[in-house]
Amino acid sequence: MRIIILSICVIICFLGCKESEKETEPVKEDIVYDMYQPSEMANLMNEMYAQNLKIKEDILKGNVPLEFPLDFLKIHSAEMSEFKSRNETFQSFSKLFIENEKEIFNTESLIPLEERFNNTINLCISCHQTECTGPIPRIQKLLIK
């Protein structure tokens, strides 16, 4: 009799342990969620992408873009992801980029509009070649062929 009671206890304990093990497993998986938080600079870049896509569509429709998006000036101050730094190369590229982007809106320029636009997009690409090559294929799609 004692042996039977003992075996039942052992079995209950064993099943109990197995149950609790099963319960904890899915919890572990739930904890693995996406921690990615885009930096201020990454958000600005996505904004610049969208704005330039609109400018491209305008140019293709034959409209002249008139207003330089002042938000773009944030490129000089926006906070970047931790592993990126605002070194000299970055600063000279951002200055050149802003000068070229402004030229798109210079209605007195003698350079054809499409060329001014493509020069700007090529500067996006040049800066990206120095430190952030991932988005280059996407940026290349902005070029007017």
Out of 47, 49, 73, 103, point to the residue binding ligand HEC (CB under 6 A). 49
Q: Which of residues 7-36 bind ligand HEC (CB under 6 A)?
A: none
Q: Name which position in 7, 46, 77, 109 contacts ligand HEC (CB under 6 A).
A: 46
**How far, in Å, CA of 116 to CA of 101, rounded?**
8
CA pair distance 143, 93, nearest whole angstrom: 18
Q: Is 125 helix (H, G, I), strand (E, B) or coil?
A: helix
- From the list 12, 17, 38, 76, which residue makes contact with ligand HEC (rule: CB under 6 A)? 38
End-to-end CA distance of the chain: 90
Answer for which of 48, 59, 104, 113 binds ligand HEC (CB under 6 A) is 48
* Residue 133, CB-side half-sphere exposure with 13 Å CA sphere: 2
Q: Decide: 52 and 100 in contact? Cβ < 8 Å.
A: no
- Using DSSP, how many helices (H) and how many strands (E) does the chain show? 5, 0
Residues 77-96 that bind ligand HEC (CB under 6 A): 80-81, 84, 90, 93-94
Listed ranges 2-10, 13-21, 111-119, 126-134: which one lies at the site for ligand HEC (CB under 6 A): 126-134
Site for ligand HEC, rule CB under 6 A: 38-39, 41-42, 45-46, 48-49, 52, 80-81, 84, 90, 93-94, 97, 123-124, 127-128, 131-132, 135, 138-139
